[in-house]
Amino acid sequence: MSEKKTNRRDFLFTATYAVGAVGVGATVWPMIDQMNPDASVKALASTEVDVSSLTPGRTITVLWRGKPVFIRRRTEDEIADARSVKLDDLKDPEKDEDRAKNPEWLVMLGVCTHLGCVPLNDKGDYNGWFCPCHGSHYDTSGRIRKGPAPTNMEVPKYEFVNANTIKIG
Amino acid sequence: MSDHEYTPKSKAGKWFNDRLPLLTLANHLTDYPTPKNLNYWWTFGGILTFCLITQIVTGLTLAMHYIAHADMAFESVEHIMRDVNYGWLIRYIHANGASMFFLAVYIHIFRSLFYGSYKAPREIIWIIGIIIYLLMMAAAFMGYVLPWGQMSFWGATVITNLFSAIPLVGEGIVTWLWGGYSVDNPTLTRFFTLHYLIPFLILGLVVLHIWALHVPGNNNPVGIDVKKPSKDTVPFHPYIVIKDTFALLMFMIVFAFFVFYTPNILGHADNYIEADPLVTPAHIVPEWYLLPFYAILRSVPDKLLGVIAMLSAILILAALPWLDTSKIRSAVFRPLYKQFYWILVADVLILGYVGAMPAEGLYLLVARVATAYYFLHFLVILPVLGLKEKTLPIPLSITEPILGGTANLATARNKESSIK
Amino acid sequence: MKNFLRILSLIIVFLAAPLSSYAAEKVEYLKTDWSFKGLFGKFDRGALQRGYQVYTEVCASCHSMKYLSYRNLAEKGGPEFTEQQAKAIAASFDVTDGPNSDGEMFTRPGKLSDKFVMPYENVKAAQAANGGAYPPDMSVLVKARGGGVDYIYSLLQGYEDPPAGIILDEGVHYNKYMYGNKIKMSNPLSDGLVEYSDGTNATVEQMSKDVTTFLMWTAEPHLETRHQIGFKAILYLIILTILVYFSMKRIWSRVETKV
């Protein structure tokens, strides 16, 4: 008799604790989620860039989601350079054909994959980009060749809306 | 702090506790002997702690999105309401939380008045409580300014102008408070800073409030001293914890109803109009919890005296332990005081009511009578009553409802213990 | 416990008295059944879409809606236009953007992320164009008026000839629900003023109801979520309260004192 009573009591307390814990969890979530990107930030997820004035060998930097995006119109030499590299020589093997669908145009996030600095144009041992913070060298395809950065610079989702306009995001 | 020595069972626990006796503190809090006859009016202390934590947590999260600038404050609040994930929920909890906080604090104060909890040896607890209450009013007032709506702006203008009543330096003080020649951006940023600071001051004072409480222990509905620990007490955990939780949950149901179904009813529509220094709203009314004092302010025809009356109405509470001369704590055994107590409750509610009405005609007359009575209660009725009132016999202990002795003996015992 | 609840409810009733007396001093507003009131209240999707039409075709020429973006029109709990429809609506407005690389401002078709285009450059321009009276921004208008939706709904139908003895200045109109009865806005609605695409008969009453519903949504875009979460939250709290109540009874049964 008394044993049964104990069980029932345990069940009551366990149920109370369990239901209480669910409530605490549900209350904590809004306080955490409020720090995630809000609706107005998410709505600004894409940006359009006019690239008509860009001549081969030049790079423009545009702001997208608060980060710099490099848009480079590459010269024939640069393209040839980038395409001739063997994948075995790369720290993060990736074909240039996959990174630049239209070989003349390289669009990538101008953020060093090491710790987030902005690399410098036309610098470094591979004629691509060089990050001054900790010495990472990128080639003309934005791939990491030397230095502490672990991966190539990221290529965002983008498309040509027309011959002169790129839509990023 | 504790009546008995506590030694942690585990070796690590002992090592830690010898260096920082947090475990002793935790043990003191869980074992804290509490009179077992506490009724539900005593649960509001715990509820108030919950209110404070809620306001701090929601306030912190709102501050991550709010912009304290006259040009952007209103817009940033709308941004919170529309775009921030759960921003509407957090803001409505914070806004209604202020009202719930005051609802709870008024119940807490009036419980103390009924059961004489402010009397010896608990005067310090009471005075700390009054300081907390004053800080709460300051925090609430400044918080109401932050959305930068019409009521924010004009409320700030009116309240800060109270200081101009001070002779000679008044105008200078007001300009200093504003950081300009009117309520404007500098005023908003400093109000935001202080609004952010005050809750943490309150938190510190709450720790002192509870510390001071744990020295003599809780008062109780019978109002006599209890031996601790004894058969008159129960340990705080689990008995009081579960009871406070139950009361808190009921409180939260009311709270949730406001937040989810009538989130704006306690606010004022004009505060959804962005502040405009050129147009004053037709009726300027403070939030409901300040209305009684607003009524007192307006009932005095002189500017300076009105401000003094309003401040005195609050500060007079700090002197209460010495104004009340009765040796008996609980109104249960004070038949006359009990009646005056309810008259005071009605008086304050009437003040609150006329505070919301225009200050003219009958309302003004009622406000004046009620204001006069308010002071009469504390300055005349209480001191005289304590000396003249014939009190009822008091039981010897809270577990023995039948009297252990004659009335005189019981009173004598009580007297003895309160002197100690 | 009983005593406790009795006193508590008395106090709450008393505290609520001044609130209701605010409303009592005002005129009796026209009543209609709002779908968004009540425990489970939701917006009438059709009314929101029609209301948006009334807003753009009638109100928007003077009243701004500065806290709304075109993306809101496609969001859940709102008019719920499809994303394509919302994009088309946005694109039908010219938005000033820039500066471009030449340092000049330019106009382009609106995008979902754009805020509603304002009818006037600034408040002063709005006042100048409206005989000195600023047509208030409509984003939170419903919450900024004491009578809320009932007030707006009544006001739109409250235009009538002034009673004898009231003389109106040039450009001032008589409205029996307006505070002080004098309003600078001329009667904005007349039967058949807009042509509803869903075939609803555009009476003044219908348009008033639709646009007021729309304004309720612009002021409280998360109203539906609020009601949904609110119901669940309160139900949850009641269940937990019951569990805690029995736990409390059980714990206190160890001592003879009642709770």
Query: Tens digits of per-residue pLDDT, C57-67?
Result: 999 999 999 99
Most C CBs within 10 A among A11, A12, A46, A53, hence the mutation to make, goes to A12
Collapsing DSSP to helix, strand or coil, A47 comes out as strand
| Radius of gyration over every alpha carbon of chain C, rounded to an integer in angstroms | 24
Can you read off the two tokens belonging to residue B374? 């308010």
> pLDDT tens for residues C130-152?
888 899 999 999 999 989 999 99
Residue B296's Cβ-count burial label (10 Å; 0-12, 13-18, 19+) is buried
Chain A CB contacts of B79 under 8 Å are 38, 40
Phi-psi region at C167: left, alpha or beta (left = phi > 0; alpha = psi -120 to 50): beta
**Residue A145: pLDDT over 90:** yes
Which band of pLDDT confidence, cut at 50, 70 and 90, is reported for residue A48?
confident
Distances, alpha carbon B311 to alpha carbons A30, B284, B304, C174, in Å: 40, 20, 11, 46
C-alpha span between C148 and C27 (Å, rounded): 13
Cross-chain CB nearest to B83 (options A30, A33, A40) = A40
Domains in chain B, CATH or no CATH each: 1-25 (no CATH), 32-283 (1.20.810.10), 285-389 (1.10.287.980)
Given an 8 Å threshold on Cβ–Cβ distance, is B253 in contact with C241? yes
Chain C CB contacts of B243 under 8 Å are 248, 252, 259
Distances, alpha carbon C149 to alpha carbons C4, C145, C195, in Å: 37, 8, 23
Identify the chains in contact with C, defined as 3+ C-beta pairs within 8 A: A, B
The yes-or-no answer on residue A114 being catalytic is no
Chain B CB contacts of A41 under 8 Å are 83
Q: For chain C, how many residues are written?
A: 259
Collapsing DSSP to helix, strand or coil, A49 comes out as strand
Given an 8 Å threshold on Cβ–Cβ distance, is C237 in contact with B81? no
Can you read off the two tokens belonging to residue A73? 């119109």
Residue B247's Cβ-count burial label (10 Å; 0-12, 13-18, 19+) is buried
pLDDT of residue B6: 87
C143 and B CB contact within 8 Å: yes
pLDDT of residue B228: 80
CA nearest neighbour of C149 among C63, C28, C32, C24: C32
pLDDT of residue B403: 55
Per-residue confidence of chain B (420 residues) as pLDDT tens digits?
444 578 899 999 999 999 999 999 999 999 999 999 999 999 999 999 999 999 999 999 999 999 999 999 999 999 999 999 999 999 999 999 999 999 999 999 999 999 999 999 999 999 999 999 999 999 999 999 999 999 999 999 999 999 999 999 999 999 999 999 999 999 999 999 999 999 999 999 999 999 999 999 999 999 999 888 888 899 999 999 999 999 999 999 999 999 999 999 999 999 999 999 999 998 888 999 999 999 999 999 999 999 999 999 999 999 999 999 999 999 999 999 999 999 999 999 999 999 999 888 899 999 999 999 999 999 999 999 999 999 998 888 877 655 543 333 344 444 444 433
Given an 8 Å threshold on Cβ–Cβ distance, is B84 in contact with A34? yes
Interface A-C, measured as beta-carbon pairs within 8 A, has a size of 35
pLDDT of residue C37: 93
ipTM: 0.91
Residue of A nearest to B79 (CA): A40
Dmax over CA atoms of chain C, in Å, equals 85
- Residue labelled with tokens 């860039």: A49
B99 and A CB contact within 8 Å: no
pLDDT of residue C16: 59
Collapsing DSSP to helix, strand or coil, C2 comes out as helix
DSSP per position, C42-106: ---HHHHHHHHHHHHHTGGGT---TT-BGGGGGSTTTT---HHHHHHHHHTSEEEE---TTS--E
Given an 8 Å threshold on Cβ–Cβ distance, is C19 in contact with B253? no
Cβ contact A36:B85 at 8 Å:
yes
> pLDDT tens for residues C240-258?
999 999 999 999 998 876 6
- Residue labelled with tokens 């059944």: C33
Better-predicted residue by pLDDT, A159 or B54 = B54
- CB contact residues (below 8 A), chain A span 27-46, against chain C: 39-40, 43-44
Chain B CB contacts of A35 under 8 Å are 61, 64
Q: State chain A's mean pLDDT as an integer.
A: 89
- Amino acid, single-letter form, for residue B228: K
B67 and A CB contact within 8 Å: no
Angle at B50 between CA B49 and CA B54, to 5 degrees: 120
Residues near B381 by beta carbon (within 8 Å), at least 6 away in sequence: B340
pLDDT of residue C214: 97
Residues near B199 by beta carbon (within 8 Å), at least 6 away in sequence: B52, B55, B56, B59, B139
Q: Is the dihedral of CA C64, C136, B72, B198 positive or negative?
A: negative
DSSP per position, A70-109: EEEE--HHHHHHHHHS-GGG-SS---HHHH-SSTTEEEEE
Rounded to the nearest angstrom, the minimum Cα separation between C203 and chain A is: 36
C-alpha span between C200 and C207 (Å, rounded): 10
Which band of pLDDT confidence, cut at 50, 70 and 90, is reported for residue C19?
low
Q: What's the N-to-C CA distance of chain C in angstroms?
A: 8
Given an 8 Å threshold on Cβ–Cβ distance, is A53 in contact with C101? yes
Chain A CB contacts of B82 under 8 Å are 39-40
Catalytic annotation, pick one of A134, A157, A159, A164: A134
Which band of pLDDT confidence, cut at 50, 70 and 90, is reported for residue C99?
confident
Q: For chain A, how many residues are written?
A: 169
Given an 8 Å threshold on Cβ–Cβ distance, is A12 in contact with C113? no
Neighbours of A160 (CB within 10 A): 14
C-alpha span between A131 and A124 (Å, rounded): 8
pLDDT of residue B398: 78
Chain C CB contacts of B266 under 8 Å are 19
Given an 8 Å threshold on Cβ–Cβ distance, is C143 in contact with B269? yes
Given an 8 Å threshold on Cβ–Cβ distance, is B85 in contact with A36? yes
Given an 8 Å threshold on Cβ–Cβ distance, is C113 in contact with A9? no
Chain C CB contacts of A9 under 8 Å are 250
DSSP per position, B350-391: HHHHHHTS-SSHHHHHHHHHHHHHHHHIIIIIHHHHHHH--P
Rounded to the nearest angstrom, the minimum Cα separation between B172 and chain C is: 33
Buried b (16+ CB within 10 A) or exposed e, C192-202: eebebeeeeeb
User: Which ranges in C143-222 belong to alpha helices (H)?
Assistant: 148-156, 204-219
Given an 8 Å threshold on Cβ–Cβ distance, is B239 in contact with C244? no
User: For A31-44, what is the mean pLDDT?
Assistant: 91
Cβ contact B389:B326 at 8 Å:
yes
Given an 8 Å threshold on Cβ–Cβ distance, is C252 in contact with B245? no
Residue of C nearest to A16 (CA): C243
Chain A CB contacts of C243 under 8 Å are 12, 15-16, 19
C-alpha span between C25 and C23 (Å, rounded): 6
CA nearest neighbour of B78 among C228, C153, C64, A40: A40
Rounded to the nearest angstrom, the minimum Cα separation between C33 and chain A is: 32
Can you read off the two tokens belonging to residue A7? 């069980």
Rounded to the nearest angstrom, the minimum Cα separation between C66 and chain A is: 14
